Amino acid sequence: MSQLIRKQHNVNILLYHIVCPAKYRKAVFTPEVDEKLKEICEEISLRYEIEFLEIGVDTDHVHFLVQSVPSYSPTKIVRTIKSITAKEIFRQMPEVKKQLWGGAFWSAGYFISTVGSHTTEDVIKQYVKDQGKWQENIQLRLF
């Protein structure tokens, strides 16, 4: 469950849904690779301000639900996750590297989307659209 992160100069709740496909969309995510990936992500959480709320593995891609801080750009989060997991899976499971012909673990691309924790896009859109209107309503009532 996501929580507010309190820092010295800000309070935030930044959630991202990230999807990373394996190189060549190769079906390398076996139950063993899935388990190892999750262990590596736990270690990433200890070293970086990236909290993995959920990890869902399909045979050829992975969905991550992560929470992080404003000082980490979405690109930095993805780069950190992909680089460390690739390096560690290849180191700890060399048979996976052989399946990918000794090349990269992840495809170059990825999908990322922000996730609304407390509301929806429509609610925020209406909220932004209605900014300043309360002052108009007060002025109309005064006259």
% residues pLDDT > 90 (the chain): 68
CATH classification at residue 124: 3.30.70.1290
Torsion, CA 13, CA 54, CA 94, CA 28, rounded to 10: -120
- Residue 66 gets the label, from left (phi > 0), alpha (psi -120 to 50) or beta, of beta
How crowded is the C-beta side of 51, counted as CA atoms within 13 Å?
A: 12
| pLDDT range class, residue 142, cuts 50, 70, 90 | low
pLDDT of residue 140: 54
Q: What is the tally of structural domains in the chain?
A: 1
- Is 70 exceeded by the pLDDT of residue 136? no
CA dist 126 → 34, 36, 52, 120, 130 (Å): 41, 43, 30, 10, 6
- Give pLDDT tens digits for 3-24: 888 888 889 889 999 999 999 9
Pairing of strands 111-114, 14-21: antiparallel
Strand partners, 11: 6
Task: For residue 51, give its domain range.
Answer: 5-142
Question: Tokens at residue 28, please?
Answer: 């390398």
pTM of the model: 0.84
